[in-house]
Every structure is written in structure tokens, then in C-alpha cells.
Structure 1
């Protein structure tokens, strides 16, 4: 750690988290000039540009390892202070746990993880949402300490654990089935029927189309980037889409939707990636994630 100033590292984290030098200054209760001077001094010490001056500010490739280091040091420092103050009967410090989770996990099984952790008033969660194929990028960038991701290879300085698979079923409302799929799932009907897509990172529906037809089809699509609204759009007949089985079962049982291809499912293996760090909270969080995942996700086929 010789040559690296802890105040400068903290400032780097705050600039990236807040998105601008001005917002970081407000958070740190200093002037924007002081923030700029700290970042400039850190960059001169490293010999690299560490922050892209844009809206929002982002860490450069050279800045990412320092961002990760700063986050790890902050976590260990807060845990040590909490333990020391607790031993002396003082007030514990607050600890923020930043995790990125894909939307469907966040809407189904992941909230139960939070309930498994000890009820500590000094513990604050900072949950981010991103597609499972992209969530590890935030861990790689150093802005979160752990991620639920589809990426099985550990990021640099991290550990990975398999969690299981989220299973998706292709659903449509009865009027959509009658209008588009009276002749079954064929390349022609699937190319014509509108599909509901979560966002532009979501490729599950296209993966299903390739599995069923062996072709890359481009049907008309509606983007609905909210899990409740996504499911509601399918129930209301906007189009068909792939729905997590935890949600799909209730819609099929109530007659709101029809399973377009019983037995034809899409399984998405999920992994838990986290910093390789000897942290009490990170260990407890990992144990809770693995326990809930084992109870709710599908085993991954060998």
C-alpha cells in the first residue's frame, strides 16, 4: 500500500459511485476542486488516467483495480471498526453491501437471501440490477462486491460458485395462442407472432426460437423492462415471452396463460461471483445465497 493514499482512494470510489466530481464533493463535504486535486494526485502517483471525465464519470481500465482495492479496504476497515467498537461498547459503523443481481432473480428468489442474514442495523444493502450475461462486468469494474451472473469463469481477484439454473417457460395468453399458434409452433408462426422482451440485453426469447426452429428469427418485439409489467404484458395479450417458472406456474394454473411448448424450457445456469476476500459479511452473504439457491433453483444438467 506504500504510495497509495487512502483518502485519494476513497475519493476515487465516491466519484465513480456518484457519477461526477461535484456530487462526490457534496458526499465528501469538500469542494469540487479538492476532489479534482485528489484524483489528479492519485493519477500522478500511478502514472495513468484513472477516471473518464464524462457524465457519469467512469473508471478507466487502469482505475478498475484501484476501485476494487478501495472497496475491499473499505469493507475490511468497517468490519474491523465495528468489531473494535463493539468490544468497547461503542456504536458500530455502517457497512454497505453492494451486489448486482439479474432482474428475474431479484423478483423471485434473491430477496429471501436478505432475510437469511443476521438482522444488524448497521448493515445496508445496495442492490443493482443487470442482465445475467452482463452483471459480472460491475464486479470486474470494482463497483460491487458480488454478483449473480451467468458467467462461470471467475473475474480477476474473485471466486465463483455454481448456484443452479433458472428455468423459463414460453407463455402466451389464450387469445394470442388462438390468433397466432392455431397450427402450432412453426417458423412461420413464430416469425409473425409478437414477442415480449425484457430489454435490449435480453436474448432468452431468441435462444428459444433457435432451439425450436433451428433458425435466427426476428419477430416483432415489445420491450418491457420490468418483471411485473413483463408478465402483465403477456397476460394481457401483448405477445408471448419466456417467464421464470416461479411466476409461470401461477399464470398457467389460473388460466391466464398457456404454455406454448410443454417440456420445452430454457434453463439459464447462474453463478455467484464475489471478491476473494476474508470478510465476515461476505462469507455470511455467500452462505445465504448458496442456501436459498439450493432450495429454489434447478440443478444444472451435467
Structure 2
């Protein structure tokens, strides 16, 4: 706009009446300065010095630099609201809609506030965390499949070992949504913790089962696995989960949420290991026995085929 003041805003359809009185006064004085020959960085050759001095000596003189940029081509309008963090996004969308006529004149209108900045940061954090989860799960699955392919010639064991992590991640994220827990810098790490806990649980159970199944008795192997390794995992989960659950006593909500959801993550990983993975191991063990009925040791690579 040529004058950068209230007249241009009104001509563009901006609801000037919604601005507070102080902002309207500042914009009016900014427009008057431009008309008097003030360029923002100096005076025009035909500037009206007396008018400029009068405006700058007025009550709004000290605040003009807060609404008018140095090149006099940008203005700042502050609008006080009670929208809060929850209503900031909706209010910003409404502002952008109302500022559309102004943008049609060639001007650029930006809506900014601290809640909007926080919301945008959390959106970017969520997107980055989602990508990190996918990469972590894929990398862990590839490593486990590769390991069991090389050491046991049983790539399927790698997939079975990943089951606790693959189940714990969606369960914990779904629980956060159901409980209405906010997504913040602390809770964003929960999915990574689920992977870090679920994968070791799976490895412990799988390796113990592979050792126990050497005699070819699947039922005895899974009982021994749950009796020894399973009991150790339960003890580990109880102590670790209790330690994180203590954070629920914190008076700082993000810390309390982090502690509670981490304890829940540990419980999900343990249940997925004890129920889903063990069932998958029993299925795999019986499958191996059926495929190689004449071998006493179905876990030795040289006596079996890739499966």
C-alpha cells in the first residue's frame, strides 16, 4: 500500500474496528507521517517538517517504531485475545481468512503468537518422531532377520523377535490418544523407548527358546523359557516400571505423564513378549519339528534349511 495506514486497511476490507484504540491511533499517525514526507529512513525533499515534528511529539511518537518497519512498508498490529493455547489455531485461521482481501492487494499478512509457534514446533516434532519410529523399527527388524539368518539360518525368528516392539509402539501411542495425553518433548520419546524395551525382551525369549528346543520337545521348551527367562523379564519389568511410575508423583505435568506412559510401555512390551511372542515361538517350533522330524536338534543350522 502507498500509505501503509488505516485507509489502506479499510479499503482492503480489513476489520479495522476490531483493532484496539491504541493500535488504530498508531497506524493513523504512521499514515500521517508517510503523507507528510517521512520515508522511514529519512525525509523526502518536499517533507512537511512541522507536521512530522508535531506527530512525533505526540503521545504515540514513542510507539511508532513498534508498528512501522524501517522502510515504512510493514506494519504490526497487536490484538489481545483470550483464546488460549487451545483456541489459538482456530483464531489464527479466522484471522488469515479476514486478511485475505489485504493479501489480494499484493501485501503479505502474517499471523504469529507464542501458542502458534509452540503448536508448529510440536507438529514438526511429531512428524520427525514418526519418521524416526519407522526408521528404527525397520533397522531393528533388518538387523534381527540378518542375525538369525546368519547364525541360525532361520530369518523368521527375526520377525518373531520383533513382535513385542511392533505391538508395543501402536499400543502405547493409542493409549496416549485415549487418555488425552499431550504430545510434548518428553512424551515424543515414548515410542523409541517402546522399541528399546521390546526388542531386548524379544531377544531374551527367542534365544532361550532356541536353546531349550534342542531336544525337539516344543512344549517343554516353552515352559522352560517362561519359567527361567520369563520370570527374569517380569522382575526386570516390575522394577523398571515402578521406578518410572514414581514420576507420577511429580507436580510438573509433562514429567508425570512421561513416567506414567513409560511404565505402561514396559507393561505392554512384557505382555506382548509373554503372550504373543511365546505363541509365535510355539508355532515356529512345531513347524520346525514337522519339517525336520528326524533331527533331534532342530536349531543347528547345518541340519536344517532356511525358514
Instruction: Please state which band the TM-score falls in when normalised by the shorter chain.
Output: under 0.3
Higher CA-based Rg? 2
More relative contact order, 1 or 2 (CA 8 Å, 6+ apart): 1
Identify, as 1 or 2, the structure richer in helix.
2
TM-score (norm 1): 0.24
